[in-house]
Amino acid sequence: MTARSPFVLPEEATAAEAVAAIGDELSVFDDWMERYGYIIELGRKLPPFPDAWANDGHRVPGCQSRVWMEAEPRDGALFFAGASDAAIVSGLVALLLRVYSGRSPSEILATDPVFLKELGLIEALSTNRGNGIASMARAIRERAAAEHATT
């Protein structure tokens, strides 16, 4: 039996479609407690993150909780793996990776993380969690910029 890849595969054809789908899914819930439950469940569905990557070399700076990410370029796209030691943050990782993983560096760079604010996620989170998700989005976009520069 082969181990499941830790990298998130895109569910939607484009980052814009992923953002729209997330917005539709969140709009089903009447309040933020229900949305938080949904986000936590998304985090539980992330592919298993290798223990060997849960180290300082993979840690995303600027997050209150511990967050780790890894990226792998493949066939002109960047695939991301991620994890956190906090349930809600794992869900936020899952949301970001749903939007950005499996996309070309140029599509990642063209997809401004302002969607996090537009979906009400930033306002609904504590200041530290809001800063943390912004740090995660920045790390993804920095990796895409570095990859874009080499292609």
Map tokens 């370029």 to a residue: 73
Residues facing residue 67 across a β-bridge: 84
Is 144:109 a contact under the CB 8 Å cutoff?
yes
63 is catalytic: yes
Cα–Cα nearest to 144, from 106, 87, 97, 92: 106
- Characterize the bridge pairing of strands 67-74 and 77-84: antiparallel
- Residues 63, 71, 95, 133: which is the catalytic one? 63
DSSP 29-83: -SSHHHHHHHHHHHHHTSPPPPGGG-SGGGBPTT-SS-EEEEEEEETTEEEEEEE
Residues tagged active-site? 63
